[in-house]
Amino acid sequence: MHEKQPAVLLLEDGTRFDGFACGKIGTTTGEIAFNTGMTGYQEVFTDPSYYGQILVMTTSHIGNYGVHPEEVESEGMKIAGLVTKKFSDIYSRTAGVASLGDYMETEERVGISDVDTRALVRHIRSKGAMNAIISSEILDEKELMNRLQEVPSMEGLELSSFVATKESYEVGSEESEFRVALVDFGVKKNIVRCLAERGCFVRVFPMTVSIEELKAFNPDGVMLSNGPGDPSAMPEQINLVKEIINWDIPVFGICLGHQIFALSQGLTTAKMHNGHRGLNHPIKNLITGKSEITSQNHGFVVTHESLEAHSAIELTHIHLNDNTVAGIRLKGKPVFTVQYHPEASAGPHDSRYLFDDFISNMKTFKS
């Protein structure tokens, strides 16, 4: 345990919060976002879709169950920084191997604790997403603001290339019933696990893969992964997905994969006032009429206006809090995508059936 060191959180609009340093002593910048999940902080912090974001956890105690090597969604922490109310230096869980503070230091992540996170979240909820800086080495507001002004806006930022694989790799056995080509934009490990558990041999391809390389693998289906950043800043990947759709193979897309699919078909995406990040987001499946409680993490969304004007794409799921587009499919084709996280790690398993739907599409396609 360390002596508490002062730290500052400064938002782009000049709002300042004082607290204490947690994790590495240093400075970090990014877009500020909040997650309302009450558990699963290690999975969240290692989710590649959070790359470039300073994350506020609304649950008031973070760190109290330490960290565990298996509870990661990628190799290492991906959030740009952490904001909490109470940061626990000690942890109580027999399976824990280290404290969150030690893990953040090893992973070189800067955080700030003892912030009034309720006031902070109310502020960003009304003002909308904006950039922020956390520092435990610079406390001078002018200097912090100068640094903050150099941080690019999330809108227009391509971030997948910082977190997605550069080399292909395989998961599962080649003897498996289905072969899935996964295009990696920043994949969460649990997506691959959910496929492997259902009898899939998965080859994870870098996002620079060509359509010929994908075809050469002879897959039964293509999975488009989640990932960070603005989907509209990825013209090559949008083009690749257009080619995948023309190939007429089963496709399943999650989050960024869903947004890139939408853009490839001429729909548009927009930046949300505030994203959806948490474990209890209500979704309605418009095909079955059933609701599901879902895990979410996104700051962009497919627009209703573009969808209404498109005759080949059908709305399949809506978000019940704000009616935003949560799932779509290509009419008459085995192609569907969702804005939320059926692999939900952490989170409820209500939406796991989407993996089964993908499997059943591949079964039909094979025969």
Ligand X SMILES: NC(=O)CC[C@H](N)C(=O)O
The interface mask with ligand X, positions 157-196, x = CB under 6 A, is ----------------------------------------
Pairing of strands 313-319, 269-285: antiparallel
365 labelled ligand-binding: no
Catalytically annotated residue among 22, 194, 200, 255: 255
Per the residue annotation, which of 276, 317, 319, 341 is the catalytic one? 341
Q: Which is nearer to ligand X, 40 or 229 (CB)?
A: 229
* Annotated binding residue 297: yes
299 is in an annotated binding site: yes
Would you call the peptide bond into 346 cis, given omega within 30 degrees of 0 as the criterion? yes
CA–CA gap between residue 101 and residue 22 (Å, rounded): 6
Between residue 250 and residue 289, which ones bind ligand X under the rule CB under 6 A? 255-256
Q: Facing residues of 336 across strands?
A: 252, 329
Exposed/middle/buried for 301, CB within 10 Å: 0-12, 13-18, 19+? buried
Does the annotation place 217 within a ligand binding site?
A: no
- Is residue 52 involved in binding ligand X (CB under 6 A)? no
* DSSP tally for the chain: helices H, then strands E: 11, 19
Cβ-proximal residues to 233 (8 Å cutoff; 6+ apart), any chain: 156, 157, 158
Contact status: 203 vs ligand X (CB under 6 A) = no
* 151: phi then psi, degrees, rounded to nearest 5: -80, 125
Q: Decide if 200 is catalytic.
A: no
The helix, strand and coil proportions of the chain, stated in percent and rounded to the nearest 5, come to 25, 35, 40
Q: Which is nearer to ligand X, 220 or 350 (CB)?
A: 350
Among 229, 253, 334, 342, binds ligand X (CB under 6 A): 229
229 appears as a binding residue in the annotation = yes
Q: Is 297 in the site for ligand X (CB under 6 A)?
A: yes
Q: Is 341 a catalytic residue?
A: yes
Using CB positions, name the residue nearest to ligand X: 255
CB of 270 to ligand X, least distance (A): 10
Spatial separation of the C-alpha atoms in residues 14 and 155, rounded to whole Å: 20
- Indicate if 194 belongs to the active site: no
* Residues with Cβ within 8 Å of residue 85, at least 6 apart in sequence: 60, 61, 62, 113, 114, 115, 116, 117
- 100 marked as part of a ligand binding site: no
Min separation Cβ 74 and ligand X, Å = 12
Which segments are annotated as binding site for L-glutamine? Answer: 49, 227, 229, 256, 259, 297, 299-300
Contacts to ligand X by CB under 6 A: 49, 226-229, 255-256, 297-300
Q: Which residues are catalytic?
A: 255, 341, 343
